Amino acid sequence: MNTQEYNADSIKILDPKQAEQRFEWLQAENLSIKYSKPLEFVQRGIEACRRSSTDLSFFIQRYLEGDKSGGKSILLEEAFLELMTEAREKSQFKTQKHQRH
């Protein structure tokens, strides 16, 4: 028997900042709107930061705000390129699969 019960006390209302920190999709959407960048680009940047252990603020500063003064991150760029390759391969696979039918 489950000793935890779902009730009104289980519901937590998050303020916008907490929601953005908890839900990556919301953070990506908000950054995309704020900086007028394509959503896929921002999503890929966030994932590249995770894969390369790069702080998201670096991606925001360099690639969304356009401030190149902080230098480059080879690890971030490699992770970003890897994600682009994965997306391209996934797209090609779907195209090939669709053409067979």
DSSP-derived secondary structure for the chain: ------SGGG--PPPHHHHHHH-HHHHHHHHHHHHT--HHHHHHHHHHHHHHT--HHHHIIIIIS--GGG---HHHHHHHHHHHHHHHHHHHHHHHHHHH-
Is residue 95 in a domain?
A: yes
In a domain, 65, yes or no: yes
Query: Has residue 6 been placed in a domain?
Result: no
Structure tokens at 65: 């705000």
Residue-range definition of the domain harbouring residue 46: 16-100
Residue 43: how many other CB atoms lie within 10 Å:
18
Flag whether pLDDT at 9 surpasses 90: no
Task: Tally the domains of the chain.
Answer: 1
Is 44 inside any structural domain? yes
pTM: 0.74
Q: Are 42 and 32 in contact (CB under 8 A)?
A: yes
Note whether residue 3 is domain-resident: no
Residue 90 placed within a domain: yes
- Render pLDDT for 35-85 as a digit per residue (tens, 0 to 9): 999 999 999 999 999 999 999 999 999 999 999 998 899 999 999 999 999
Contact 43, 28 (CB under 8 A): yes
What is the reported pLDDT for 1?
A: 46
